[in-house]
């Protein structure tokens, strides 16, 4: 890496090209025009929503016959209501998967369609800069090889707050720019204040440089996309002037832990059926998942500016799950929002462990509950409102499921230990026998499981009968055992997630904010002590209920065995979830194998090669960074007035005093607090002061 690069030759950011992005008024309906949806979309909506309604009505009717309608207790009524709500949820999932049979093929424009200019935007927050830059390098080099290097520019949008990460980011940025020099432009900007988190990061970019780009490709820090896919997305955006947002279906890949492999396999096998069903009923009223999607910059800026919600966190303030809201606002303004399921070559990473997934779910749950303040906005299309309902429902399903189990257990205890009153009336000649149709209840349970498994069975059937897909999974000899393993492990993890999500919901309703922390990207086996500390309550609850049923109602135990087994094994499931050794063992057995392992896309090899090349730059520590004049110059060039203004003045004063008092550079750095280190990196005069230390010159 050339550390003598002169930042004056090329600044870290392009010339300003501002574009206004006003906050939208949720109380004012904008003027817009919507073209009619196709027949297939209407039929898919009929199948998805009409089918779910029919199944729910039939399920509720059968549930009403389980108990004696003339003597229904409050608990029995509560159980019926809870069953109907949970049954409706799984009925919709099953019906939506069937609706995928009606999905229309997306339009494919001519290869001569001009692409315009697209920014490949990578927002980062205390991420590993080598991994993110490796992915960007692979995408940039691939696009340049296709002859489209001038149509795309890479833009790293940093919200990093940690000094060590900040130093590595600027070092890797210099190496990435050097690697792509002459092939694709690479820009870097770090915000001094990370207002509104990722949504605010993107808004700041648009307001400063949005006018430079026709489109922007929104990525996550773990995103990776094939160059051919990116080019095709740009073509489709150019061919349809009303297309405001084009969403791909990201494939989970690259994980090596048990939990990551479990999610990757499930998403790869069952995901296509679910995605086709979702795309079929969405039509042009699609949704946005926040990454691996291309947005028309002018449309996004003009109609998707987020308002600050009234009230305090967790329900008020900046919108956390911004993507759903942005898609709804885009569609409200008349823009097409579409998900094209044929766009393969779109990848992302999976949470490496149960704990990482729970931490992510905590933020998502709070963000989705915030949507209750947006769902009533004027002018929203009804499918957009349904996206909000589905998002909220995905987190309400867990407490509903838990409540249904608890009410069922109370009813069981009531039947076992409370003697019924056979003659409630004084002069009654015949007794009132309590009635419970166990056979009907058993069939309702079986039907519920069948509907729950239907999307999985559709995905498995499609993979088995479609020879290329079957071979990419390693053949039926790997596909079927993998599917069975996935079902068993998912069933064990489900009750643990049920209790964790229920607790998260209670915390949110109690007013506890989720905060904002960097996501875990790598897994490891945690200690038994940590696993028990996190899940001993779950295991204890499972043991107590299991013992009670074994003693009082052993016939009920087999029906609740999957739930109770998951709870009892919760500490072990948590401990091994992030274990890469166990993941490697499963890979050797051929279990949970995905096409990305048997026949990986070339973009993975390109990203790995680029990552290896950039690794030395990412290994730069703060004390090494001080010694490299070229890197200090690049870093200083990335600083703005906002960086200097965002620093605590007291931290600047104390940092300067410590630097002047320290006998060596290393000693000065050791004395600095994290806040003072950030001040050091934000104020060039402090950097120069450390660089002039005699000990440094002697070294």
Asked if 589 and 653 count as a contact pair (C-beta separation under 8 A), the reply is no
CA distance 633 to 638: 9
**Could you tell me if residue 55 is inside a domain?**
no
Strand order in the sheet with 346-348: 224-225, 346-348, 251-252
pLDDT value at 516 more than 80? no
Asked if 652 and 686 count as a contact pair (C-beta separation under 8 A), the reply is yes
pLDDT digit string, tens, across residues 60-92: 999 999 887 767 789 999 999 999 999 999 999
Helix (H, G, I), strand (E, B), or coil: what is residue 188? strand
Please count the CA atoms within 13 angstroms of the CA of 169 that sit on its side-chain side: 30
Strand order in the sheet with 185-190: 185-190, 152-158, 118-124, 215-218, 293-296, 243-247, 336-339
pLDDT digit string, tens, across residues 395-425: 999 999 999 999 999 988 887 776 665 555 6
481 class by beta-carbon count within 10 Å (0-12 exposed, 13-18 middle, 19+ buried)? middle
**Could you tell me if residue 486 is inside a domain?**
no
DSSP labels for 367-398? HHHHGGGTTT-TT--HHHHHHHHHHHHHHHHH
Asked if 484 and 262 count as a contact pair (C-beta separation under 8 A), the reply is no
pLDDT digit string, tens, across residues 208-240: 999 999 999 999 999 999 999 999 999 999 999
pLDDT level of residue 517 (50, 70, 90 thresholds): low
**Could you tell me if residue 382 is inside a domain?**
no
CA distance 86 to 451: 11
- What sign does the CA torsion over 600, 343, 382, 330 have? positive
Pair of tokens at residue 552: 């009082």
**Torsion (CA) 399, 404, 407, 412 in degrees, nearest 10:** -140
CA distance 384 to 287: 7
CA distance 336 to 242: 6
pLDDT digit string, tens, across residues 467-502: 999 999 999 999 999 999 999 999 999 999 999 999
pLDDT value at 375 more than 70? yes
3-state helix, strand, coil in the chain (%, to 5): 60, 5, 30
Asked if 26 and 307 count as a contact pair (C-beta separation under 8 A), the reply is yes
CA distance 459 to 441: 28
Our measurement of the distance from residue 177's CA atom to the centroid of its chain's CA atoms, rounded to an integer in Å, reads: 29
User: Can you give the pLDDT at residue 621?
Assistant: 87
Asked if 59 and 441 count as a contact pair (C-beta separation under 8 A), the reply is no
From residue 228, how far is each of 234, 337, 535, 596 by CA, in Å?
10, 21, 45, 17
| pTM for the predicted model, two decimal places | 0.91
pLDDT level of residue 691 (50, 70, 90 thresholds): confident
**Could you tell me if residue 629 is inside a domain?**
no
pLDDT level of residue 370 (50, 70, 90 thresholds): very high
Q: Is 123 left (phi over 0), alpha (psi -120 to 50) or beta?
A: beta
**Could you tell me if residue 113 is inside a domain?**
no
pLDDT value at 564 more than 80? yes
**Torsion (CA) 44, 50, 53, 58 in degrees, nearest 10:** -110
User: Can you give the pLDDT at residue 594?
Assistant: 94
**Could you tell me if residue 662 is inside a domain?**
yes
Q: Tokens 């050794």, residue?
A: 581
**Could you tell me if residue 221 is inside a domain?**
no
CA distance 310 to 122: 29
User: Can you give the pLDDT at residue 395?
Assistant: 92
Lowest mean pLDDT among 62-76, 288-302, 535-549, 596-610: 62-76
Secondary structure letter of residue 221 according to DSSP: T
**Could you tell me if residue 679 is inside a domain?**
yes
Beta bridge partners of 336: 243
503 class by beta-carbon count within 10 Å (0-12 exposed, 13-18 middle, 19+ buried)? middle
Asked if 567 and 542 count as a contact pair (C-beta separation under 8 A), the reply is yes
User: Can you give the pLDDT at residue 8?
Assistant: 42
CA distance 665 to 671: 10
Number of domain units in the chain: 1
Range of the domain at 659: 647-699
> How many angstroms separate the first and last alpha carbons of the chain?
21
Element of type H or E holding 461: helix 438-465
pLDDT value at 623 more than 90? no
């Amino acid at each position: 890496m050339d550390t003598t690069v002169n930042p004056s030759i090329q600044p870290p950011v392009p010339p300003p090209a501002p574009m206004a992005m006003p906050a939208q008024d949720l109380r004012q309906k904008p003027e817009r025009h919507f073209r009619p949806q196709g027949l297939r979309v209407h039929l898919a909506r009929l199948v998805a929503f009409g089918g779910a309604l029919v199944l729910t009505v039939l399920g509720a009717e059968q549930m009403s016959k389980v108990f004696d309608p003339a003597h229904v207790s409050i608990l029995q009524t509560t159980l019926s209501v809870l069953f109907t709500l949970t049954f409706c949820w799984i009925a919709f999932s099953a019906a939506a998967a069937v609706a995928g049979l009606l999905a229309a093929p997306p339009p494919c424009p001519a290869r001569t369609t001009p692409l315009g200019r697209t920014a490949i935007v990578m927002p980062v927050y205390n991420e590993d800069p080598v991994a993110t830059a490796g992915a960007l390098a692979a995408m940039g080099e691939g696009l340049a090889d296709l002859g489209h290097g001038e149509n795309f520019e890479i833009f790293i949008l940093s919200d990093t707050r940690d000094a060590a990460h900040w130093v590595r980011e600027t070092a890797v940025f210099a190496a990435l720019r050097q690697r792509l020099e002459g092939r694709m432009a690479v820009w870097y900007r770090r915000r001094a204040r990370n207002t509104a988190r990722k949504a605010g990061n993107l808004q700041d970019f648009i307001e400063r440089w949005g006018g430079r780009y026709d489109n922007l490709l929104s990525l996550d820090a773990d995103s990776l996309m094939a160059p051919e896919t990116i080019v095709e997305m740009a073509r489709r955006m150019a061919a349809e002037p009303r297309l405001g947002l084009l969403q791909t279906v990201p494939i989970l890949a690259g994980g090596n832990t048990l939990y990551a492999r479990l999610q990757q396999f499930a998403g790869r096998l069952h995901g296509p059926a679910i995605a086709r069903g979702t795309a079929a009923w969405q039509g042009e009223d699609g949704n946005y998942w926040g990454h691996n999607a291309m947005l028309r910059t002018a449309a996004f800026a003009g109609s998707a500016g987020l308002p600050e919600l009234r009230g305090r966190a967790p329900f008020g303030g900046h919108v956390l799950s911004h993507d759903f809201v942005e898609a709804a606002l885009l569609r409200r303004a008349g823009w097409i929002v579409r998900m094209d399921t044929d766009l393969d070559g779109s990848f992302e990473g999976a949470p490496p462990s149960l704990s990482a997934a729970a931490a992510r779910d905590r933020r998502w749950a709070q963000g989705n509950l915030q949507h209750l303040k947006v769902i009533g906005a004027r002018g929203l299309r009804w499918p957009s409102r349904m996206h909000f309902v589905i998002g909220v429902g995905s987190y309400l399903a867990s407490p509903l499921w838990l409540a249904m189990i608890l009410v069922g257990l109370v009813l069981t205890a009531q039947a076992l230990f409370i003697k019924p009153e056979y003659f409630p009336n004084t002069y009654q000649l015949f007794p009132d026998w309590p009635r419970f149709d166990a056979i009907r209840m058993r069939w309702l349970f079986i039907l519920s499981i069948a509907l729950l498994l239907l999307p999985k069975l559709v995905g498995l059937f499609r993979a088995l009968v479609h020879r290329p897909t079957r071979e990419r999974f390693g053949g039926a000899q790997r596909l079927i055992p993998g599917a069975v393993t996935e079902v068993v492990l998912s069933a064990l993890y489900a009750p643990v997630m049920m209790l964790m999500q229920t607790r998260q919901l209670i915390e949110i309703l109690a007013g506890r904010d989720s905060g904002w922390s960097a996501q875990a990207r790598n897994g490891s086996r945690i200690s038994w002590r940590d696993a028990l500390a996190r899940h001993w309550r779950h295991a204890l609850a499972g043991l107590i209920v299991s013992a009670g049923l074994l003693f009082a109602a052993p016939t009920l135990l087999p029906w609740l065995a999957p739930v109770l087994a998951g709870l009892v094994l919760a500490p072990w499931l948590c401990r091994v979830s992030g274990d890469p050794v166990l993941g490697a063992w499963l890979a050797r057995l051929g279990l949970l194998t995905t096409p990305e392992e048997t026949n990986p896309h070339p973009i993975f090899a390109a990203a790995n090669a680029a990552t290896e090349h950039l690794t030395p730059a990412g290994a730069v520590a703060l004390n090494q960074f001080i010694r490299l004049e070229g890197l200090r110059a690049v870093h200083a060039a990335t600083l703005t007035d906002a960086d200097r203004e965002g620093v605590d003045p007291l931290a600047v004063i104390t940092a300067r005093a410590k630097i002047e008092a320290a006998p060596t550079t290393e000693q000065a750095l050791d004395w600095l607090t994290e806040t003072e280190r950030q001040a050091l990196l934000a104020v060039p005069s402090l950097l120069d002061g450390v660089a002039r230390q005699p000990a440094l010159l002697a070294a």
